[in-house]
Structure 1
Protein backbone atom coordinates (compact mmCIF):
# COMPACT_ATOMS: atom_id res chain seq x y z
CA UNK A 1 0.00 0.00 0.00
CA UNK A 2 1.36 3.37 -0.90
CA UNK A 3 1.47 6.24 1.58
CA UNK A 4 1.40 10.07 1.02
CA UNK A 5 2.59 13.24 2.66
CA UNK A 6 0.96 16.65 2.76
CA UNK A 7 1.70 20.35 3.10
CA UNK A 8 -0.57 22.71 4.93
CA UNK A 9 -1.05 26.42 4.63
CA UNK A 10 -1.61 27.98 8.01
CA UNK A 11 -3.00 31.38 8.76
CA UNK A 12 -2.24 33.20 11.95
CA UNK A 13 -3.74 36.41 13.22
CA UNK A 14 -1.62 39.32 14.25
CA UNK A 15 -2.48 41.61 17.09
CA UNK A 16 -4.62 44.57 16.07
CA UNK A 17 -2.62 47.52 14.82
CA UNK A 18 -3.66 50.92 16.14
CA UNK A 19 -3.14 53.80 13.74
CA UNK A 20 -2.31 57.31 14.97
CA UNK A 21 -5.93 58.21 14.27
CA UNK A 22 -7.00 55.67 16.91
CA UNK A 23 -8.52 53.28 14.34
CA UNK A 24 -7.69 49.62 14.72
CA UNK A 25 -6.89 47.27 11.88
CA UNK A 26 -6.53 43.50 12.17
CA UNK A 27 -3.82 42.06 9.98
CA UNK A 28 -3.71 38.38 9.08
CA UNK A 29 -0.49 36.85 7.86
CA UNK A 30 -0.13 33.56 6.06
CA UNK A 31 2.90 31.44 6.62
CA UNK A 32 3.72 28.45 4.49
CA UNK A 33 4.08 25.19 6.32
CA UNK A 34 7.07 23.06 5.52
CA UNK A 35 4.87 19.94 5.37
CA UNK A 36 4.73 18.23 1.97
CA UNK A 37 3.07 15.06 0.71
CA UNK A 38 4.30 12.26 -1.54
CA UNK A 39 2.06 10.53 -4.10
CA UNK A 40 2.54 7.40 -1.99
CA UNK A 41 0.72 9.06 0.97
CA UNK A 42 3.62 9.99 3.26
CA UNK A 43 3.89 13.45 4.79
CA UNK A 44 7.29 15.05 5.22
CA UNK A 45 7.97 18.10 7.34
CA UNK A 46 11.31 19.68 6.56
CA UNK A 47 13.20 21.74 9.09
CA UNK A 48 16.39 22.88 7.37
CA UNK A 49 18.33 19.74 6.41
CA UNK A 50 16.32 17.66 8.88
CA UNK A 51 12.83 16.29 8.52
CA UNK A 52 10.06 14.26 10.10
CA UNK A 53 8.15 11.55 8.21
CA UNK A 54 4.78 9.95 8.80
CA UNK A 55 1.71 8.80 6.90
CA UNK A 56 -1.26 10.91 5.94
CA UNK A 57 -4.73 10.79 7.44
CA UNK A 58 -5.93 9.17 4.22
CA UNK A 59 -3.23 6.48 4.35
CA UNK A 60 -3.99 5.50 7.94
CA UNK A 61 -7.70 5.25 7.12
CA UNK A 62 -6.95 2.91 4.21
CA UNK A 63 -4.56 0.81 6.26
CA UNK A 64 -6.88 0.28 9.21
CA UNK A 65 -5.89 -0.23 12.83
CA UNK A 66 -2.10 -0.37 13.05
CA UNK A 67 -0.94 -3.13 15.41
CA UNK A 68 2.81 -3.12 14.76
CA UNK A 69 5.40 -0.68 13.38
CA UNK A 70 8.66 -2.04 12.05
CA UNK A 71 10.88 1.02 12.28
CA UNK A 72 14.48 1.28 11.04
CA UNK A 73 17.53 1.70 13.24
CA UNK A 74 19.04 5.12 13.86
CA UNK A 75 21.93 5.67 11.46
CA UNK A 76 20.40 3.64 8.62
CA UNK A 77 20.58 5.38 5.24
CA UNK A 78 17.93 5.20 2.53
CA UNK A 79 17.63 6.43 -1.02
CA UNK A 80 14.53 8.23 -2.24
CA UNK A 81 11.57 5.95 -2.95
CA UNK A 82 13.01 3.02 -0.98
CA UNK A 83 11.01 1.38 1.82
CA UNK A 84 12.00 2.87 5.18
CA UNK A 85 9.53 1.00 7.38
CA UNK A 86 6.44 -1.16 7.37
CA UNK A 87 3.19 -0.79 9.24
CA UNK A 88 1.15 -3.88 10.04
CA UNK A 89 -2.58 -3.53 10.53
CA UNK A 90 -5.41 -5.95 11.03
CA UNK A 91 -6.17 -5.51 7.30
CA UNK A 92 -2.79 -5.36 5.58
CA UNK A 93 0.89 -4.48 5.69
CA UNK A 94 1.76 -1.04 4.38
CA UNK A 95 5.13 0.18 3.23
CA UNK A 96 6.38 3.69 3.95
CA UNK A 97 8.78 5.18 1.41
CA UNK A 98 11.59 7.70 1.77
CA UNK A 99 10.64 10.94 0.00
CA UNK A 100 14.34 11.90 -0.43
CA UNK A 101 17.77 10.43 0.27
CA UNK A 102 18.02 10.36 4.06
CA UNK A 103 19.64 9.01 7.21
CA UNK A 104 17.55 8.07 10.25
CA UNK A 105 18.30 10.30 13.24
CA UNK A 106 15.41 9.21 15.51
CA UNK A 107 12.43 6.86 15.57
CA UNK A 108 9.17 7.36 17.42
CA UNK A 109 9.73 5.00 20.36
CA UNK A 110 6.14 5.56 21.54
CA UNK A 111 4.97 3.40 18.63
CA UNK A 112 6.56 0.31 20.22
CA UNK A 113 3.94 0.44 22.99
CA UNK A 114 1.19 2.35 21.17
CA UNK A 115 1.25 1.59 17.42
CA UNK A 116 -2.33 2.88 17.16
CA UNK A 117 -0.94 6.44 17.52
CA UNK A 118 -0.43 6.16 13.76
CA UNK A 119 -4.24 6.00 13.48
CA UNK A 120 -5.28 8.43 16.18
CA UNK A 121 -2.72 11.12 15.37
CA UNK A 122 -1.01 10.29 12.06
CA UNK A 123 0.28 13.79 11.41
CA UNK A 124 1.31 14.66 14.96
CA UNK A 125 2.02 12.12 17.75
CA UNK A 126 2.02 9.23 15.24
CA UNK A 127 5.09 10.45 13.33
CA UNK A 128 7.38 7.60 12.35
CA UNK A 129 10.97 8.77 11.89
CA UNK A 130 13.20 11.82 11.96
CA UNK A 131 15.90 12.12 9.34
CA UNK A 132 18.72 14.25 8.03
CA UNK A 133 18.26 14.49 4.29
CA UNK A 134 19.77 15.63 1.06
CA UNK A 135 18.06 16.28 -2.19
CA UNK A 136 15.20 18.27 -3.54
CA UNK A 137 11.73 18.15 -2.01
CA UNK A 138 10.13 20.17 -4.84
CA UNK A 139 8.53 17.02 -6.30
CA UNK A 140 6.45 16.66 -3.12
CA UNK A 141 2.98 18.20 -3.04
CA UNK A 142 1.48 20.89 -0.87
CA UNK A 143 -1.85 20.19 0.83
CA UNK A 144 -3.99 21.52 -2.02
CA UNK A 145 -2.14 19.46 -4.63
CA UNK A 146 -2.31 16.39 -2.40
CA UNK A 147 -6.08 16.78 -2.01
CA UNK A 148 -6.42 17.00 -5.81
CA UNK A 149 -4.30 13.87 -6.07
CA UNK A 150 -6.66 12.07 -3.68
CA UNK A 151 -9.64 13.15 -5.78
CA UNK A 152 -8.00 11.87 -8.95
CA UNK A 153 -7.30 8.52 -7.28
CA UNK A 154 -10.98 8.25 -6.30
CA UNK A 155 -12.12 8.81 -9.87
CA UNK A 156 -9.69 6.14 -11.16
CA UNK A 157 -11.25 3.44 -8.96
Structure 2
Protein backbone atom coordinates (compact mmCIF):
# COMPACT_ATOMS: atom_id res chain seq x y z
CA UNK A 1 0.00 0.00 0.00
CA UNK A 2 1.30 3.41 -0.84
CA UNK A 3 0.05 6.77 0.32
CA UNK A 4 -0.83 8.91 -2.69
CA UNK A 5 0.33 12.49 -3.14
CA UNK A 6 -3.32 13.53 -3.06
CA UNK A 7 -3.79 11.91 0.35
CA UNK A 8 -0.72 13.63 1.77
CA UNK A 9 -1.83 16.96 0.34
CA UNK A 10 -5.29 16.52 1.84
CA UNK A 11 -3.92 15.81 5.32
CA UNK A 12 -0.96 18.15 5.15
CA UNK A 13 2.69 17.23 4.95
CA UNK A 14 3.10 17.37 8.74
CA UNK A 15 0.59 14.53 9.16
CA UNK A 16 2.24 12.24 6.58
CA UNK A 17 4.14 10.55 9.42
CA UNK A 18 0.82 9.41 10.92
CA UNK A 19 -0.22 7.78 7.67
CA UNK A 20 3.17 6.09 7.39
CA UNK A 21 2.98 4.76 10.96
CA UNK A 22 -0.46 3.21 10.33
CA UNK A 23 0.59 1.73 6.99
CA UNK A 24 3.85 0.31 8.36
CA UNK A 25 1.87 -1.54 11.05
CA UNK A 26 0.23 -3.65 8.33
CA UNK A 27 3.49 -5.57 7.88
CA UNK A 28 3.78 -6.19 11.64
CA UNK A 29 0.22 -7.42 12.24
CA UNK A 30 -0.14 -10.96 13.56
CA UNK A 31 -2.94 -12.32 11.36
CA UNK A 32 -2.32 -16.05 10.67
CA UNK A 33 -6.07 -16.85 10.61
CA UNK A 34 -7.82 -14.02 8.80
CA UNK A 35 -4.82 -12.76 6.82
CA UNK A 36 -6.47 -9.33 7.17
CA UNK A 37 -3.90 -6.91 8.59
CA UNK A 38 -4.98 -3.59 10.07
CA UNK A 39 -2.72 -0.78 11.24
CA UNK A 40 -3.40 2.25 13.39
CA UNK A 41 -1.68 5.42 14.49
CA UNK A 42 -3.02 7.22 17.56
CA UNK A 43 -1.68 10.72 18.20
CA UNK A 44 -1.79 12.51 21.56
CA UNK A 45 -2.49 16.22 21.83
CA UNK A 46 1.23 16.68 22.55
CA UNK A 47 2.10 14.89 19.30
CA UNK A 48 3.26 11.55 20.72
CA UNK A 49 2.51 8.68 18.35
CA UNK A 50 1.31 5.19 19.28
CA UNK A 51 1.25 2.45 16.66
CA UNK A 52 -1.33 -0.31 16.81
CA UNK A 53 -1.80 -3.50 14.84
CA UNK A 54 -4.21 -6.37 15.04
CA UNK A 55 -3.12 -9.46 16.96
CA UNK A 56 -5.07 -12.68 16.39
CA UNK A 57 -5.40 -15.75 18.56
CA UNK A 58 -6.50 -19.30 17.76
CA UNK A 59 -9.29 -18.64 20.26
CA UNK A 60 -10.76 -15.93 18.02
CA UNK A 61 -12.50 -13.97 20.78
CA UNK A 62 -9.13 -13.25 22.37
CA UNK A 63 -7.88 -11.36 19.32
CA UNK A 64 -7.32 -7.61 19.52
CA UNK A 65 -7.86 -4.96 16.86
CA UNK A 66 -5.23 -2.44 15.77
CA UNK A 67 -7.19 0.52 17.09
CA UNK A 68 -7.61 -0.96 20.56
CA UNK A 69 -3.95 -2.00 20.63
CA UNK A 70 -2.94 1.63 20.01
CA UNK A 71 -5.34 2.93 22.67
CA UNK A 72 -4.33 0.34 25.26
CA UNK A 73 -0.62 1.07 24.69
CA UNK A 74 -1.19 4.81 25.08
CA UNK A 75 -3.49 4.56 28.09
CA UNK A 76 -1.13 2.10 29.81
CA UNK A 77 1.55 4.80 29.58
CA UNK A 78 -0.71 7.42 31.17
CA UNK A 79 -1.99 9.15 28.04
CA UNK A 80 -5.58 10.41 28.07
CA UNK A 81 -5.69 13.32 25.59
CA UNK A 82 -5.77 12.47 21.90
CA UNK A 83 -5.97 14.57 18.75
CA UNK A 84 -6.13 12.14 15.80
CA UNK A 85 -6.46 8.49 14.82
CA UNK A 86 -5.45 6.95 11.49
CA UNK A 87 -6.60 3.43 10.56
CA UNK A 88 -5.18 1.60 7.52
CA UNK A 89 -6.17 -1.64 5.87
CA UNK A 90 -6.00 -3.55 2.63
CA UNK A 91 -9.53 -2.70 1.57
CA UNK A 92 -10.77 -1.21 -1.70
CA UNK A 93 -12.61 1.54 0.20
CA UNK A 94 -11.42 3.27 3.38
CA UNK A 95 -11.36 0.68 6.16
CA UNK A 96 -14.14 0.78 8.74
CA UNK A 97 -13.46 0.14 12.44
CA UNK A 98 -15.49 -2.50 14.28
CA UNK A 99 -18.09 -1.64 16.92
CA UNK A 100 -15.86 -2.56 19.87
CA UNK A 101 -13.15 -0.21 18.63
CA UNK A 102 -15.68 2.57 18.10
CA UNK A 103 -16.83 2.19 21.71
CA UNK A 104 -13.23 2.41 22.98
CA UNK A 105 -12.76 5.56 20.88
CA UNK A 106 -15.83 7.08 22.55
CA UNK A 107 -14.36 6.30 25.99
CA UNK A 108 -11.12 8.19 25.39
CA UNK A 109 -11.81 10.83 22.73
CA UNK A 110 -13.82 13.97 22.20
CA UNK A 111 -16.75 13.40 19.82
CA UNK A 112 -15.24 15.84 17.30
CA UNK A 113 -11.80 14.20 17.19
CA UNK A 114 -10.80 13.50 13.58
CA UNK A 115 -10.31 9.95 12.34
CA UNK A 116 -8.70 9.15 8.99
CA UNK A 117 -9.67 5.87 7.35
CA UNK A 118 -7.25 4.60 4.69
CA UNK A 119 -7.69 1.81 2.15
CA UNK A 120 -5.56 0.46 -0.67
CA UNK A 121 -4.17 2.85 -3.25
CA UNK A 122 -4.38 5.70 -0.74
CA UNK A 123 -8.17 5.96 -0.89
CA UNK A 124 -9.04 7.96 2.22
CA UNK A 125 -12.00 9.24 4.22
CA UNK A 126 -12.01 11.83 6.98
CA UNK A 127 -14.59 11.40 9.74
CA UNK A 128 -15.01 11.98 13.48
CA UNK A 129 -15.64 9.81 16.53
CA UNK A 130 -19.23 11.07 16.68
CA UNK A 131 -19.87 10.25 13.03
CA UNK A 132 -18.50 6.73 13.57
CA UNK A 133 -20.71 6.10 16.61
CA UNK A 134 -23.62 8.54 16.89
CA UNK A 135 -25.80 8.42 19.98
CA UNK A 136 -23.07 6.53 21.82
CA UNK A 137 -23.18 5.06 25.30
CA UNK A 138 -20.67 6.80 27.58
CA UNK A 139 -19.92 7.69 31.19
CA UNK A 140 -22.71 10.30 31.18
CA UNK A 141 -25.21 7.45 30.81
CA UNK A 142 -24.12 5.77 34.05
CA UNK A 143 -25.88 6.51 37.35
CA UNK A 144 -24.10 8.42 40.01
Determine if the TM-score, normalized by the shorter chain, exceeds 0.5. no
Choose 1 or 2 for highest CA Rg: 1
Q: Which of the pair has the greater relative contact order for Cα pairs under 8 Å at 6+ separation? A: 1
- Shorter-chain TM-score range: under 0.3
Q: TM-score when scaled to structure 1?
A: 0.25
Higher strand share: 1
Q: TM-score when scaled to structure 2?
A: 0.27
Higher helix share: 2
